[in-house]
A and B are shown apart, each in its own frame.
Chain A
Amino acid sequence: MYHWIPFWPDTAAVNAIVVNNLYIAELGVSGLIMVTVVAMMLTFCIRYRKGSATSRADRVQKTWHFEIGWTIATLGAFLVLFVWGAAIYIWLYQAPRGDEEVYVVAKQWMWKIEHPGGQREIDALHVPVNKTIRVVMASEDVIHSFFIPAFRIKRDVVPGTLETIWFKADKTGVFKLECTQFCGLQHATMHGEVDVLSGPDYARWLTGQGVHESLAEQGEAVFRAHGCSGCHGDNSTVHAPSLAGLYGTYVHLQDGSVRLADEAYIRDCILNPRSFTVAGYPPLMPDFTGQLGEDDLLKLVAYIKSLAKQESAQ
């Protein structure tokens, strides 16, 4: 769409088209400001150079109405840009459930990708075209930043929490995946590629990975190994909140606050349960800080989310 503009990056997602439009508008406003300033400066410098015959009489004495004029003009233009940019931001940063999900673990200096079906890859991300992909990201060490230039999306992956982002690629092909937050010695080589495949190609790719156990199934094993099932399992007699149907609902906590049970909330509850005691339940759960790596945490999150799916299916 914008290929006639020189030096334009690939545009390969619905997100990118929306950002492109704003970018063009902003280039226009910036160009207008620059041209105004340069034109005024050049004109004045030539007309009023020392020794030119142009009259200097009747200089503007009252300046305030000019100043109010360009205050209002710039403020008006800026507010339009602000609202436009903010609307896109809110849209970009509220990840919908999505048609597909992928889990990303960032570590010095690689992107580890885990698909819900259990397929794993490193520094490569295979996704289907024309599907909304929800990306759930964790960092094992420092802050990284997940950036796909052709999709115009980016989000820091901050250790200690889960971040989500989404995109919907509208073109097949291979695009860059980068880290844009300095993350140590080999930051510059922490990049990979995003392979956008057609639906059938993607299905073929998934089955070609030779995986037997989905991420949720792996999570269930972790769930049993760490004794979670003892309290949160179906047959448990301990008074613990049920996890079935939890994901995506609003949870009332003991301290009166209400939290959306998204991936970050589930992770927080596992690691730091005393801060998220559910209203009406005793604070019995031990905290699991330091006992679970980001990989296992994501598997657990995938498992607990799968419980939600079963519930809503019934």
Chain B
Amino acid sequence: MSVTTVERGPAAEPAAAFSAPSYLTEENTVASWLLTRDHKRIALLFFASITFFFFIGGFAATLMRLNLATPGGLLQPAVYNRMFTMHGIIMVWFFLIPSIPTTFGNFFVPLMIGARDLAFPRVNLGSWYVFNLSGLVVLYSLVMGGADTGWTFYTPLSTSYADGYVFAAAMAVFINGFSSIMTSLNFIVTIHRLRAPGMTWMRLPLFVWGIYAVSVVMLTATPVLAMDTFLLAVERFLGVGLFDPNHGGDPLLWQHMFWFYSHPAVYIMILPAMGVVSEIIPCYARRPVFGYAGMTMALMAIAILSFFVWAHHMFVAGISIYSGVAFSLMTFFVAVPSAIKVFNWTVSLHKGSITFDAPMLYALGFVLLFTLGGVTGLMLATLGIDVDVHGTYFVVAHFHYIMVGATVSAFFGALHYWWPKMTGRMYPETWARFAAILTYVGFNLTFFPQFILGYLGMPRRSYTYPPEWQSWNLLSSAGASILAIAYILPLLYLGWSLFRGRKASANPWRATGLEWATRSPPPAHNFERTPVVTLEPYCYDPERDTYVTQEGVPHAG
């Protein structure tokens, strides 16, 4: 089950003075980074790539919100259409889907299960190169003028009518999928094969469970996307008539195939975020997570059910009434495990000893934003209401609550929580708390007005709107400017902390996971000796303010 060539023994005293350099300082040539097989360095390479794309996608969003501040708009219609398309494509495939798995998953799955590295280090590095190749293609598409179909590439608009760089954008998505497949395969094998002695399935930290669930979804859903975008490219180039009714095709075939991937993709974005929050909340509430087994089952239930709800994107698209009813029912079913998770996180605060450091603020923000995104998701799952609000800003607000409100909050939570471990430096707490609260305020100001706009009937993907909707749009744009500051702030103070931050100890948060049993930052080989796990995660005791690590080492308050 695990690598046992290393001598077993009691855990090494953390922060002991080892002479070996950390993974950051071991060797610092350009080649040692670009050809590294160390999962921790690859995680940082991914972090650089996705951060770059996050700000590109964010720039497009900034232009859109600027444009929508006035009814008449600022941008040419063609420019606006390309901006929202590229915003969607870049944010979904080049930030949200890879975000937590390729960075924190890559860095911490081996550390949390007590492994030396991922199962296939070269595949891991290859995944980064494939990702960047797809990134170059999407940048080409963007620089040449961008695609103008919306990120959903609906046919026959995308095959026969749009005149932007649709082919390049579709190919970028096609190539990007291989990176997803490589990374997820690596995680699945690693989690199955490389767990340290004693790290049974029911002792895995919930973050590892989250990454496992998401890997299963990625590995099984992404090939469908690859076929789909390939067929799109074939039809656009050769006009073979798969999707265009004028050539005997069926436009709905595209939607079925696209959503068969892209609905699970929504869960690809949220499952790792759920894992992150399940790490942070017990640590800052100083008590075990409420219902560990239920949490693992809920994760897997969401992963499996996510494959049976895709047509809820198509209730008004001309599918049969009966399949509409069936998919609505399945959608309500998938909401149940999500609801269980929300209640469990909340009750995980009960009889804790709670501190409100930045990661905890992000995590609590996650729970609230995810819940609001969830209940509006229930409305969309309700057929009678979906008929009304489908295709309006209500939908835009809903999925931003999940994908941005929840996932990006969790991303920043993870970034702060694990920053000391990754860099060996502490971040400035006051600034970080300020950024976390600012994110929450800015986010709600940006997206809550969009629920109202949507219910009033404002269609999404419109560069202009009637003047009576300006106040809500202006509020949303104002909120977006706050949100932009909240997202740029961490870049500044975290950058500062790299050089000036206080040196971090091995376990600054007094947490129980194996990743805290090694130094900050860890040595290239992760552990001086293979850890032996004797306990479930999250053995915190709020009554005596003590905790016991997964290796069974007790720590007093």
Question: Contact: A74 with B336, CB < 8 Å?
Answer: yes
Query: What CA separation (Å) do A34 and B346 show in the bound complex?
Result: 12
Give the secondary structure class of B's interface.
helix
Measured between beta carbons, the chain B residues less than 8 angstroms from A160 are: 245-246, 250-251
Q: Is A285 engaged at the interface, CB distance under 8 Å to the other chain?
A: no
Q: Is A3 engaged at the interface, CB distance under 8 Å to the other chain?
A: no
Question: Contact: B315 with A89, CB < 8 Å?
Answer: yes
Q: Is A251 engaged at the interface, CB distance under 8 Å to the other chain?
A: no
Name the one of B354, B355, B465 contacting A188, with C-beta atoms under 8 angstroms: B465
Q: Is B477 engaged at the interface, CB distance under 8 Å to the other chain?
A: no
Question: Contact: B336 with A48, CB < 8 Å?
Answer: no
Query: What CA separation (Å) do A145 and B294 show in the bound complex?
Result: 42
Question: Contact: B368 with A33, CB < 8 Å?
Answer: no
Question: Contact: B332 with A18, CB < 8 Å?
Answer: no
Measured between beta carbons, the chain B residues less than 8 angstroms from A48 are: 285, 349-354, 542
Spot the interface stretch: A110-118, A122-130, A148-156. Answer: A148-156
- Also in contact, A18 and B384, with CB within 8 A (given A86-B325, A86-B328, A141-B156): yes
Question: Contact: A82 with B316, CB < 8 Å?
Answer: no
Name the one of A26, A60, A93, A147 contacting B350, with C-beta atoms under 8 angstroms: A60
Question: Contact: A142 with B157, CB < 8 Å?
Answer: yes
Spot the interface stretch: A63-71, A205-213, A239-247, A303-311. Answer: A63-71
- Also in contact, A108 and B161, with CB within 8 A (given A41-B349, A82-B332, A158-B317): yes
- Also in contact, A145 and B352, with CB within 8 A (given A37-B371, A56-B543, A152-B388): no
Question: Contact: A187 with B462, CB < 8 Å?
Answer: yes
Name the one of B156, B318, B346 contacting A155, with C-beta atoms under 8 angstroms: B318
- Also in contact, A182 and B150, with CB within 8 A (given A48-B349, A86-B325, A160-B250): yes
Question: Contact: B321 with A183, CB < 8 Å?
Answer: no
Measured between beta carbons, the chain A residues less than 8 angstroms from B37 are: none
B residues 326-355 touching A (CB-CB < 8 Å): 328-329, 332-333, 335-336, 339-340, 342-344, 346-347, 349-355
Which partner residue on chain A sits nearest B325 by CB separation? A86
Minimum CB–CB distance for B175 against chain A, Å: 25
Question: Contact: B161 with A184, CB < 8 Å?
Answer: yes
Query: What CA separation (Å) do A81 and B286 show in the bound complex?
Result: 38
Question: Contact: A37 with B342, CB < 8 Å?
Answer: yes
Question: Contact: B252 with A180, CB < 8 Å?
Answer: no
Question: Contact: A26 with B385, CB < 8 Å?
Answer: yes
Q: Is B306 engaged at the interface, CB distance under 8 Å to the other chain?
A: no
Minimum CB–CB distance for A79 against chain B, Å: 7
Query: What CA separation (Å) do A23 and B372 show in the bound complex?
Result: 16
Q: Is B62 engaged at the interface, CB distance under 8 Å to the other chain?
A: no
Question: Contact: B321 with A182, CB < 8 Å?
Answer: no
Question: Contact: A78 with B332, CB < 8 Å?
Answer: yes
B residues 379-423 touching A (CB-CB < 8 Å): 379, 381-388, 390-392
- Also in contact, A7 and B384, with CB within 8 A (given A26-B378, A33-B371, A37-B346): no
Query: What CA separation (Å) do A40 and B416 show in the bound complex?
Result: 25
Question: Contact: A29 with B385, CB < 8 Å?
Answer: no
Measured between beta carbons, the chain B residues less than 8 angstroms from A45 are: 349, 354, 356, 364
Minimum CB–CB distance for B476 against chain A, Å: 14
Name the one of A37, A67, A78, A180 contacting B391, with C-beta atoms under 8 angstroms: A180
Q: Is B291 engaged at the interface, CB distance under 8 Å to the other chain?
A: yes
Minimum CB–CB distance for A232 against chain B, Å: 24
Measured between beta carbons, the chain A residues less than 8 angstroms from B352 are: 44, 48, 56
Contact mask for chain B residues 132-152; partner A; CB cutoff 8 A; 1 contact, 0 none: 000000000000000011100
Question: Contact: A30 with B251, CB < 8 Å?
Answer: no
Q: Is B154 engaged at the interface, CB distance under 8 Å to the other chain?
A: yes
Contact mask for chain A residues 1-18; partner B; CB cutoff 8 A; 1 contact, 0 none: 000000101000000001
Minimum CB–CB distance for A46 against chain B, Å: 9
Q: Is B165 engaged at the interface, CB distance under 8 Å to the other chain?
A: no
Which partner residue on chain A sits nearest B382 by CB separation? A85
- Also in contact, A181 and B382, with CB within 8 A (given A40-B347, A93-B321, A154-B316): no
Name the one of B371, B455, B543 contacting A34, with C-beta atoms under 8 angstroms: B371
Question: Contact: A141 with B336, CB < 8 Å?
Answer: no
Q: Is A185 engaged at the interface, CB distance under 8 Å to the other chain?
A: yes
A residues 154-175 touching B (CB-CB < 8 Å): 154-156, 158-161, 163
Minimum CB–CB distance for A114 against chain B, Å: 21
Query: What CA separation (Å) do A67 and B337 show in the bound complex?
Result: 10
- Also in contact, A44 and B349, with CB within 8 A (given A67-B340, A78-B335, A86-B328): yes
Measured between beta carbons, the chain A residues less than 8 angstroms from B375 are: 29-30, 33-34
- Also in contact, A30 and B324, with CB within 8 A (given A40-B346, A82-B332): no
- Also in contact, A67 and B149, with CB within 8 A (given A19-B388, A45-B349, A158-B317): no
Q: Is A75 engaged at the interface, CB distance under 8 Å to the other chain?
A: yes
Contact mask for chain A residues 100-143; partner B; CB cutoff 8 A; 1 contact, 0 none: 00000000100000000000000000000000000000000111
Query: What CA separation (Å) do A212 and B149 show in the bound complex?
Result: 42
Name the one of A9, A51, A81 contacting B382, with C-beta atoms under 8 angstroms: A81
Q: Which of the listed residues A150, A156, A176 has the most CB atoms from chain B within 10 Å of its own CB?
A: A156
Query: What CA separation (Å) do A74 and B332 show in the bound complex?
Result: 9
Measured between beta carbons, the chain B residues less than 8 angstroms from A147 are: 391-392, 457, 459
Question: Contact: A158 with B324, CB < 8 Å?
Answer: no
Query: What CA separation (Å) do A59 and B290 show in the bound complex?
Result: 10
B residues 247-292 touching A (CB-CB < 8 Å): 250-252, 285-287, 290-291
Q: Is A220 engaged at the interface, CB distance under 8 Å to the other chain?
A: no
Measured between beta carbons, the chain A residues less than 8 angstroms from B286 are: 50
Query: What CA separation (Å) do A188 and B464 show in the bound complex?
Result: 6
Q: Is B367 engaged at the interface, CB distance under 8 Å to the other chain?
A: yes
Minimum CB–CB distance for B17 against chain A, Å: 31
- Also in contact, A90 and B161, with CB within 8 A (given A44-B352, A185-B148): no
Name the one of A22, A56, A150 contacting B351, with C-beta atoms under 8 angstroms: A56
Query: What CA separation (Å) do A290 and B244 show in the bound complex?
Result: 13
Question: Contact: A78 with B388, CB < 8 Å?
Answer: no
Q: Is B81 engaged at the interface, CB distance under 8 Å to the other chain?
A: yes
Q: Which of the listed residues A50, A55, A79, A186 has the most CB atoms from chain B within 10 Å of its own CB?
A: A50
Measured between beta carbons, the chain A residues less than 8 angstroms from B447 are: none
Q: Is A235 engaged at the interface, CB distance under 8 Å to the other chain?
A: no
Minimum CB–CB distance for A233 against chain B, Å: 29
Question: Contact: A163 with B318, CB < 8 Å?
Answer: yes
Question: Contact: A67 with B344, CB < 8 Å?
Answer: yes
Minimum CB–CB distance for B233 against chain A, Å: 18
Query: What CA separation (Å) do A238 and B381 show in the bound complex?
Result: 51
Query: What CA separation (Å) do A124 and B347 show in the bound complex?
Result: 54
Measured between beta carbons, the chain B residues less than 8 angstroms from A75 are: 336
Minimum CB–CB distance for A126 against chain B, Å: 20
Q: Which of the listed residues A57, A87, A152 has the most CB atoms from chain B within 10 Å of its own CB?
A: A152
Measured between beta carbons, the chain B residues less than 8 angstroms from A141 are: 156, 161
Measured between beta carbons, the chain A residues less than 8 angstroms from B379 are: 23, 26, 30
Question: Contact: B336 with A153, CB < 8 Å?
Answer: no
Measured between beta carbons, the chain A residues less than 8 angstroms from B3 are: none
Measured between beta carbons, the chain B residues less than 8 angstroms from A156 are: 316-318
Measured between beta carbons, the chain B residues less than 8 angstroms from A288 are: none
Q: Could you list some 15 contacts between A and B, CB below 8 A?
A: A22-B385, A33-B371, A44-B354, A49-B356, A56-B352, A63-B291, A71-B336, A85-B384, A143-B251, A152-B387, A153-B387, A155-B387, A158-B317, A184-B81, A184-B162
Q: Please name 10 further chain A to chain B contacts, defined as beta carbons within 8 Å, in addition to the given A9-B457, A182-B154, sorted by A numbering.
A: A23-B379, A26-B382, A41-B367, A48-B350, A49-B353, A82-B332, A147-B391, A156-B316, A179-B459, A186-B77
Which 9 pairs of residues, A with B, have the shortest CB-CB distance? A160-B245, A149-B457, A88-B384, A180-B391, A89-B383, A85-B382, A188-B462, A30-B375, A44-B349
